[in-house]
Homo-oligomer: A and B are copies of this chain.
Amino acid sequence: MPKVKIPRLRERLESLYREAGLNQRDAAVLSEIIIDAEAAGKPTHGLIRVAPQLKRLRDRAHRDGVWLIDEPGRALYDGRDGLGYLVAHAVAEKALAMLERSAVAIIGCRGATHTGQIGYFARKVALAGHLSLWFANCSPLAAPYGATEPVLGTNPVAAGLPHEPEPIVADLATTATTHGDCRVAMDAGGQIPEGTALDSSGKPTTDPEAALKGGCLLPFGGHKGYALAVVVQLLATALTGATAVPGSLSDYGLSVIAMRRDILVDSAAYDSITSELTGAIKAAKPAVAGQPPLLPGERSAANRTRSSHEGIEITRRLYAQIFGDQPD
Contacts and interface: CB of A to CB of B under 8 A. Distances in A.
A270 interface: yes
A101 to B, nearest CB: 13
A76 B103 CA distance: 14
A221 to B, nearest CB: 3
Contact of A264 (B104, B146, B202, B241): B241
Interface stretch (A10-18, A20-28, A284-292, A305-313): A284-292
Interface residues of A, number: 73
B239 A261 contact: yes
Contacts of A143: 284
**For the complex formed by this chain, how many copies does it contain in all?**
2
Interface string A264-308: 110001110110110011001111100111111000000000000
Nearest to A171: B227
A84 interface: no
A28 to B, nearest CB: 30
B106 A264 contact: yes
The 4 residue pairs across chains A and B that have the minimum distance between CB atoms:
A221-B221, A170-B227, A244-B276, A147-B284
Given A161-B235, A239-B261, 20 more contacts: A74-B264, A104-B106, A108-B264, A131-B239, A147-B292, A148-B285, A148-B287, A161-B231, A161-B238, A172-B224, A226-B296, A230-B277, A230-B281, A234-B273, A234-B274, A238-B269, A239-B263, A241-B265, A244-B273, A244-B274
Interface of A: 69, 73-74, 76, 103-104, 106, 108, 131, 133, 143-149, 151-152, 159, 161, 168, 170-172, 202, 220-221, 224-228, 230-231, 233-235, 237-245, 257, 259, 261, 263-265, 269-271, 273-274, 276-277, 280-281, 284-288, 291-296
